[in-house]
Structure 1
């Protein structure tokens, strides 16, 4: 399980240090793709395969399903951790997530998210004001635990 929040810098070559605790779960090779809310999602290969199977089951006759799958998979790339614990984030993913220099890497249960520090602060500020309201709404959802 991934959890925690870590601040790091994206260097001039587009490399980002992945904290050791998160690297352990991601492995030396993992999948990085365009996430939701303007961040990047990183999945261990095993978790990616589970997600891939779920996305394959979406009805390809539905335009919204096709659009989502296209967007999600076209942004995906395999990332390999170097000896210094860094990954190279491709330019298209840095552009999508507005990653320039300061980044925030967070653990979110089955995935890791990579955010621009500015975008993360904006998201947190906005979400914090409705955190309790959101909690009340999702408590009623039948979660598969």
Structure 2
């Protein structure tokens, strides 16, 4: 399980350090793709296989299912960790998530998310305002 948040900078070549705590669960090679809320989703190989199977089961006759599958898979790339614990994020993914320099690497249960620091702070400010209502609506699910 992934949890916690870590601030790291992307270097001029587009490399980002993945926190050691997350590297243990992700392994040496994992998948990074466009996520929701303008962040990137990072999946270990096994978890990616499970997500892939679920998405394959969506009815291809539905336009919304086709659109989501295209969005999700077209942005996906395999990343390898170098000896310094960094990955190279492709330019298209950096642009999508508005990643420039300061980033937040966040553990979210079965995946890791990569956010621009500014987007993460904005998201948290909005979420904090409605956190109690969200909890109230979801409490029966816990």
Smaller-chain TM-score bracket: over 0.9
In the alignment, structure 1 residue 129 sits paired with structure 2 residue 110: no
- Cα distance in 1 for partners of 2:87, 2:30 equals 10
CA shift for structure 1 position 42: 0.2
- Return the TM-score normalized by structure 2: 0.99
CA shift for structure 1 position 110: 0.2
- Cα distance in 2 for partners of 1:99, 1:18 equals 15
CA shift for structure 1 position 81: 0.3
In the alignment, structure 1 residue 70 sits paired with structure 2 residue 70: yes
CA shift for structure 1 position 140: 2.8
CA shift for structure 1 position 35: 0.2
Paired positions, count: 142
Please name the residue that 2:110 is paired with: 110
Please name the residue that 2:49 is paired with: 49
Please name the residue that 1:17 is paired with: 17
Q: Which runs of 5+ in 2 are unaligned?
A: none
- Cα distance in 2 for partners of 1:19, 1:57 equals 33
- Cα distance in 2 for partners of 1:139, 1:35 equals 25
- Cα distance in 2 for partners of 1:58, 1:19 equals 34
- Displaced runs of 4 or more, over 4 A: none
- Cα distance in 1 for partners of 2:52, 2:100 equals 29
- Cα distance in 2 for partners of 1:138, 1:95 equals 33
- Cα distance in 2 for partners of 1:26, 1:82 equals 13
Please name the residue that 1:7 is paired with: 7
CA shift for structure 1 position 116: 0.2
Please name the residue that 1:28 is paired with: 28
- Cα distance in 1 for partners of 2:132, 2:45 equals 34
